[in-house]
Structure 1
Amino acid sequence: MPALPALSAPWRDRAGRVSGLKLATFLFALAPGLWLAGAYAMDALGAKPITALLHGTGEWAVRFLLLSLAVSPLRRIANYPKLILVRRMLGLTVLAYGLIHFALYVVDQNFVLTKVVSEIATRIYLTIGFVALVGLIVLGVTSTDGMIRRLGKAWPRLHKAVYTIAVLGLVHYFLQAKIDVTNPVFWTGLFLLLMGWRAMQRFRLPTNPLTLVVLALAAGLATALVEAAWYGLASGVPARVVLAANLDFSYTVRPAWWVVGLGLVLPVLNFARTLMDGRNKGKRPAPAAAERRQEPARRAVAAQ
């Protein structure tokens, strides 16, 4: 059997060299699965280990999905374009955890496929989750270089479905959590933060530390409103009571504040990038006379 080409290794770049960033991402993608497998092997998952595995893989699928959506904001705000190299890997990691999550559900149903189909068809949260999984499978199948070439301009439009899939995944997370929705609220808040950044880009709003601080505060407020709305609709708790809980730090820190805290990382990164760009610009040597004469031509080519 011939050896696989070096490019097939997920930790190598397109030139076949080992990429530290891709290797770190690959190991990070494996870590939760290995931890869950080890905990299961050591009987450390409680009385219902399959249920614990089911919940764990589902939660990690949501986390990696949001991490994949964070690639574009982070690479632009932090001026780190190499992050784009790991977006596909993160997307396929989401699919892997989603498929394992579904397989564990089949195991939990004792491999009775008729019951699996019936449950998916009759329980709305399972229907939503299954639709999200089908969407992930479609995106995964079409993520290869060959499919990108075949689909052409249709490929970006198809892969914008990831936003809808993220919404479906979060709704599934909420409905499955039922009573305590602290974690779903937090991850929904991060999703709102990421979508807020994309809205800023779409409407060409300036991206600077001040606007990013406003974005973080707005995402935190939206997170608190989502939490209040959920508890109000699901259990009848008055919205004002839930909102007031965000100002009481004696028991716990509500998800909205964690979203604000992570959101404030963005203006810090943006400010640091601005400082570094300014220093690097000041260190650049003045162009030679010949290079100065060629500069107008270079600008004309870059503008095309």
Structure 2
Amino acid sequence: MSKALRFRLLRAALYWVGFAPAVWVFYLGFTNQLGANPVRTLEQELGIWTLRFLIATLMVTPLRNVTGISLLRYRRTLGLLTFYYALLHFTTYMLIDYRLDLQAIAADIVKRPYITFGMLAFAILVPLAVTSNDRMVRRLGGAWAKLHRWVYLAAAAAAVHYLLVVKSWPMEPLVYFAIVAVLLAYRLGKHLRRRRRPAVA
């Protein structure tokens, strides 16, 4: 089996495994097994999986630097899974929860900070997903890397969004927030070290 074929098969398997939680939670919704507030549960589950895949995407580079394990070829797949879950989360909110009541949605964005942060994260992920293909990489050149650094702001906004959604602040949102904070600190530290190298030389 060639390396190209093996990569395509593994990427396809990653998509199948990645979409399994969405299929499962929608199945639970269609069979009335999401509890007393199924729409809210559906939104939260899709949102949590969005954050999980976003964290997995951000962990690819630190994992390679720290352990030598390289999953760079699958980072785009993880990034697209992040966007697809964010899109499902957003669509559930827009269509099922608010039934496209744009006036109520606009008021929600202004009045509720967690919605503001969630919308910010989604707005950033859209252009990142649109420009994730090879054609856009070639077309944008060096600007592509600069654009995709916005993923760190999306991660921060998503973590704050999840933290503010819950009222009692249970452990899970705090754990995700801490993981994102560590990943952002790692990226910032790497950037600062890179800037200092010419001065030392």
* TM-score calculated relative to the size of structure 1: 0.58
Equivalent residue for 2:24, pick from 7, 18, 35: 35
| Cα offset, 1:122, TM superposition | 3.0
Are positions 1:145 and 2:127 aligned together?
A: no
Who is 2:65 aligned against?
76
1:145-164 equivalences under 5 Å are: 145-164=134-153
1:123-202 equivalences under 5 Å are: 123-202=112-191
Equivalent residue for 1:111, pick from 93, 100, 107: 100
Which shifted more, 144-153 or 186-195? 186-195
Q: Would the aligned equivalents of 1:64 and 1:93 in 2 still touch at CA under 8 Å? A: yes
| Cα offset, 1:18, TM superposition | 5.1
Q: C-alpha distance in 2, partners of 1:19/1:110?
A: 38
| Cα offset, 1:31, TM superposition | 1.6
Q: Percent identity?
A: 35
Counterpart residue type for residue 70 of structure 1: M
Are positions 1:50 and 2:76 aligned together?
A: no
Are positions 1:99 and 2:87 aligned together?
A: yes
The structure, 1 or 2, with the larger RCO (C-alpha pairs under 8 Å, 6+ apart) is 2
Structure 1: where are the runs of 5+ without partners? 1-12, 206-304
Larger radius of gyration: 1
Q: Would the aligned equivalents of 1:119 and 1:126 in 2 still touch at CA under 8 Å? A: yes
Q: Residue 178 of structure 1: SS of its match in structure 2?
A: coil
| Cα offset, 1:19, TM superposition | 4.2
| Cα offset, 1:15, TM superposition | 3.4
Q: C-alpha distance in 1, partners of 2:189/2:114?
A: 32
Who is 1:208 aligned against?
none
Higher helix share: 2
Q: Using a 3 Å threshold, how does the CA distance of structure 1 residues 71 and 51 change in structure 2: closer, same or farther?
A: same
Counterpart residue type for residue 172 of structure 1: H
Q: C-alpha distance in 1, partners of 2:3/2:126?
A: 24
| Cα offset, 1:20, TM superposition | 5.1
Q: C-alpha distance in 1, partners of 2:180/2:113?
A: 22
| Cα offset, 1:29, TM superposition | 1.1
Are positions 1:121 and 2:110 aligned together?
A: yes
How many residue pairs match? The answer is 192
Counterpart residue type for residue 93 of structure 2: Y
Q: Residue 63 of structure 1: SS of its match in structure 2?
A: helix
Q: Would the aligned equivalents of 1:174 and 1:181 in 2 still touch at CA under 8 Å? A: no
Q: Deviations over 1:182-218 (max 9, x none)?
A: 211101111233234334534559xxxxxxxxxxxxx
Q: C-alpha distance in 2, partners of 1:34/1:143?
A: 24
Counterpart residue type for residue 190 of structure 2: Q
* TM-score calculated relative to the size of structure 2: 0.86
Q: Residue 98 of structure 1: SS of its match in structure 2?
A: helix
Structure 2: where are the runs of 5+ without partners? 195-201
